[in-house]
Structure 1
Amino acid sequence: MLERLRVEHFALIEAAELELSPGMNILTGETGAGKSLVIDAVGLLIGGRATADVVRAGADRARIEGFFRLPEGDGGKLRRELEALGVEVEEDDGLLLTREIARGGKSVCRINGRSAPLSLYREVGGRLIDLQGQHEQQSLMNPRKHRVLLDRLAGSDGEKALAAVEAAYRALDAVEKERERLKQGERDRIQRQDMLAFQAKEIDAVHLVEGEEEELEQERKRLQNMEKLMDKTNAAYDALFGGQVGGALELLDRARSAVEEAAAFDSALAALVQNLEAAYYQAEDAAERLRDYRQDLEYQPDRLEWVDDRLDAIRRLKRKYGGSIGEILAYREEIARELEELEHRDERIAELQAEAERRRKTYLEAATKLSALRKTMAAKLESSMAKELAFLGMSRAKLTVRFDERPEPSAAGAEEVEFLFTPNLGEPPKPLAKIASGGETGRILLAFKTLLARVEGIPSLIFDEIDAGIGGQALQAVAQKMAEVAEAVQVICVTHAPQLAAYADNHFRIMKTVRGQRTMTRIEALNEEERVKELARMLGGDRASTLTHSHAREMFARAKKSS
């Protein structure tokens, strides 16, 4: 459950902290005081969409922090689910969620002080709190959401059965898509086959070799500069061997002889003799290699033309099939595979047809099991909803689950699900959106939450004005039902109804105040006497009479006694 909520620089809230308890936590206050701001803050805390306009004017960022304590009565189920998501829970079963929204709109999420991606953060938040608001009432009106609600009521059995259907459908869908791809029009297939054959022939005609382009570029450079190569190597050879004054070899030999004679008078020159000898032999080796190299040089215009043509052919293929010879050869392998597939297309289609039949059978088996489970759950739902709605002052109302078979397989199963509603005896059932009033919708949703709380194990439920459009005895029944739900899970509720507020285990008053030139929302925890005064205000306004205060005290005592 949510033990502590701290909100800073959020809309009109400068700083507020709520110490929440198990059971029923009620938030009341004048219209416009900012009660729904607390619900909005909790929505952001569990991963709701964040916008920069929630940051209080003059502040750099809004910060919302919630400390949760995992329930003890679920056998560690929630802890295991969180750990499966990679979230470490403290030894005392504590979990801290923090959300910061910067003025520029950037959002930072932390779990136990560690940054977390919003997707994970939202997943964790959704397992800690179920938040009911106007959006969820609208979802109840949407038939597309009804199947999801029914499957949620089936608990882990529903999750497993739906997962089996989804896996079987994906397997079937993959095979059927592949089969449909191969069953393209015959003309398209022939055109594709001709084009691939042409491309393969064009690539094969060049007889590409990996790495040859670099070698050809180097050879063309040499052939284009043959005259320069001859001139420079001849000049180098002459410098080493020839000339009227003698070549470098002759000069090196003279120098070696002179130093060798001088070394007879000073041994320090002996090493220099060796250096000159080494230089002479290296120069002699270079001269011999130059001689061999220049003997191999010859003008080859035919070879240069062939190299140019070869490089042009490679470039043409690169423009059409890949940026390098390696990519072209890889594409050629793809062509070969696709041609093989096209040539044996009919055989492959037959194989896929047989595989699709096998996978369709697997899908139908999984979908049949899911359908049976849904119908069982639908019967239980209709019975349970009849009891819940009767308690909530709708004894003649009836909720019916209708199944419509889907024409094709689906990841959601073999049927559509829609809830039909009959508010009065003798009337035919009709879609919820067409017949249920606002007050009826709120009570139907509360009945659903009551049933879901028993199977889902979410430790906290939040209701935003669940009492809207409800009055009289029906409202008293809603209050009692909320108190009953709060015995199993923590309930946090914004309300204008004193009948509901009287059942609170923990009561907070939301007030709008002005300090200096700034408006802000304050939150106060109320003691018993303050709670009676707040109930009197809710019953009779700010100038509640003595009789109203007496009525409020009686209402408070009666609720306390019944709980």
Structure 2
Amino acid sequence: MLAELSIKNFAIIESMTISFEKGLTVLTGETGAGKSIIIDAIHLLAGGRGSSEFVRYGESKAELEGLFLLENDQHACLEKCEEFGIEASDGMVVLRRDISSNGKSICRINGKLVTIAILREVGRMLIDIHGQHDNQELMNEEHHQPLLDQFGSAKIVPAHEAYSELYKKYSALKKKIRQLSDNEQEIAHRLDLIQFQLNEIEEAGLQPDEDIKLQEERKEISNFEKVFEALQNAYNALNGEQRGLDWTGLAMSSLEDVSTINDSLKNMSESMSNSFYILEDLSFQLRSQLDELEYDPERLNFIESRLNEISHLKRKYGSSVDEILAYSAKIEEEIETLTNRDSHVHKMRTELASLFMDMKVEAENLTAVRKQAAKKLSADIHRELKELYMDKSSFDVVFTRKPGGKEDPEVDGESVKFTADGADYIEFYISTNPGEPLKPLSKTASGGELSRIMLAMKSIFSRHQGVTSIIFDEVDTGVSGRVAQSIAEKIYRVSIGSQVLCITHLPQVAAMADTHLFISKETKKGRTKTSVKPLTDEEKIREIGRMIAGVEVTNVTKEHAKELLLLASSSKK
């Protein structure tokens, strides 16, 4: 849940800190008091698009900060934080965003600087903001398939992954065939280029790790005098009269004479013998190395020339000899493919046909799983709509295939377009009046009906999203009477066991609140300032009375407000 929100120099808000609780929190107040500004602040905190217009006039920057508490240590947000290297301990996530007067943003999650994209990735797992504009999203049929997939994710996701894996292979192979089949002139140019490159690499006669070996040899030759002197001094220190081996041999003989007296002397004698033979072997190696050393300036010149040649090839074909050789093998294979492209294309078309049949099976399975989810979704929405006094409405999820073009495969005699999401074109249909046929949602519902349909869907989808906080921004627009009461009960039901923040102008919704925050504004010293205040029980009665009557709150209005609160309390139970 969103536990605390801090806002500074944001729009008409100078400085404000709000603490939130679980359950349903409503925000009310006069139009223009700043209710939506608070929601805008939360939206920006979750990665929404910001601009310099949000910075309070005369200030250098706006500061937004929110503390979120996660009760579930398996929350998807924690996994996302771990993915981006953000520490999230004790079930706490702090989002912070500073917006400067030039429009630039600085974003942080738990103190770590992040991009707006990362803030948005994490934010969308914590907050789900739904406003009047979201009805437009509901009206857009392009969003219907993702909504259905989200609803039935338990079965749809595995089916989608199985299909997606084949689709990627199918698309890659199809692209390869197209490249081999189209534009012979481009293929000829490509063939000339890579043939030239292959010849250049082959003429160089490169050997694996040749550059590394040559650099080591160059280092040895360049340090010839230093190496020779060191080996000569080491050898002379060991060999000859009164040198290292002589004295070590003397010590070995001396200890051998007393080695039988006790175990300690025996161990020392053996260690000394081992040391002597090791040094003797080392002196032979030093002598051998000295005999093999030979300074060859011509070899050094050859190495420099060869390394220059390899460096020239590296600039064109790879950062090492091994990479150059790998590139050579790759283009050699490509040359063979392009030279014999007709036979390759034929072989790939056969493979593509086989791959398509497998993909088609997985696509049909994905459709079948989606239809099962659609059936359950329709039943759930019918139940929700009935509770919102739209019991005469009919809702259905309509499946059609995406029409394809000339290059797309045929299914049952029709060209079908397969995409990364399958071959389904999904659209929500509804009929709000008995006897009327089902029509696309985008062409049927009125404003008030859309609010109820949206709330019905949100009631269902909120159980599948796992977000920490759900925010409703005036979603009750266009409704009144018993429908308003049903919407109030529906919003409250969504808030059970979670957190819902709701801006509302309906007294029925305000009466259902667990926490009631009143937003007001005043002018001091020529500047407008917004403030927020939690209402007491008596203040709730007066505010709900104002929402019922308008400007003047009478005793009758207060009694009506009390009755509404009692009704709400009874409804909650």
TM-score (norm 1): 0.74
Partner of 2:96: 98
Contact 2:22/2:497 (8 A) holds in 1: no
> Are positions 1:465 and 2:474 aligned together?
yes
- Partner Cα separation in structure 2 for residue 525 and residue 197 of structure 1: 74
Q: How does 1:154-233 map to 2 (within 5 A)?
A: 154-185=152-183, 189=187, 196=193
Amino acid at match of 2:385: L
Contact 1:386/1:395 (8 A) holds in 2: yes
Shift of 1:325: 6.5
Runs of 4+ in 1 over 3 A off after TM superposition: 77-84, 185-193, 195-204, 207-210, 323-339
Amino acid at match of 2:152: A
Shift of 1:353: 2.1
Q: How does 1:40-189 map to 2 (within 5 A)?
A: 40-72=40-72, 76-78=74-76, 81-85=79-83, 86-91=85-90, 93-185=91-183, 189=187
Distance 1:360 1:28, change over 3 A: same
- Partner Cα separation in structure 1 for residue 370 and residue 453 of structure 2: 19
SS at match of 1:127: coil
Amino acid at match of 1:445: M
Distance 1:198 1:466, change over 3 A: closer
CA deviations over 1:164-202 (Å, ceiling 9, x no partner) = 333322221011100111012556655765x55996899
Contact 2:473/2:502 (8 A) holds in 1: yes
Partner of 2:346: 350
Contact 1:165/1:367 (8 A) holds in 2: yes
SS at match of 2:59: coil
Contact 1:453/1:489 (8 A) holds in 2: no
Partner of 1:236: none
Distance 1:188 1:14, change over 3 A: closer
2:499 to 468, 490, 505: 490
Contact 1:82/1:88 (8 A) holds in 2: no
Contact 1:26/1:501 (8 A) holds in 2: yes
Amino acid at match of 1:103: S
Distance 1:509 1:6, change over 3 A: same
Partner of 2:38: 38
Give the alignment's Cα RMSD to 1 decimal.
2.8
Distance 1:192 1:518, change over 3 A: closer
Shift of 1:522: 1.3
Contact 1:25/1:491 (8 A) holds in 2: yes
Amino acid at match of 1:398: S
Shift of 1:87: 3.7
> Are positions 1:397 and 2:397 aligned together?
no
Q: How does 1:489-528 map to 2 (within 5 A)?
A: 489-528=498-537
SS at match of 1:57: coil
Structure 1 residues without counterparts, runs of 5 or longer:
211-322
- Partner Cα separation in structure 2 for residue 178 and residue 454 of structure 1: 43
SS at match of 1:483: helix
Distance 1:64 1:355, change over 3 A: same
Partner of 2:5: 5
1:387 to 379, 383, 386: 383
Distance 1:324 1:81, change over 3 A: closer
Structure 2 residues without counterparts, runs of 5 or longer:
207-310, 318-323, 403-415
Distance 1:335 1:557, change over 3 A: closer
Q: How does 1:329-340 map to 2 (within 5 A)?
A: 338-340=334-336
Q: How does 1:434-453 map to 2 (within 5 A)?
A: 434-453=443-462
Distance 1:528 1:173, change over 3 A: same
SS at match of 1:355: helix
Shift of 1:362: 3.6
Distance 1:154 1:528, change over 3 A: same
- Partner Cα separation in structure 1 for residue 330 and residue 8 of structure 2: 60
- Partner Cα separation in structure 1 for residue 348 and residue 14 of structure 2: 64
Distance 1:126 1:200, change over 3 A: closer
- Partner Cα separation in structure 1 for residue 477 and residue 466 of structure 2: 26
Over alpha carbons, which structure has the higher Rg?
1
CA deviations over 1:463-483 (Å, ceiling 9, x no partner) = 110110111111110001111
- Partner Cα separation in structure 1 for residue 137 and residue 466 of structure 2: 21
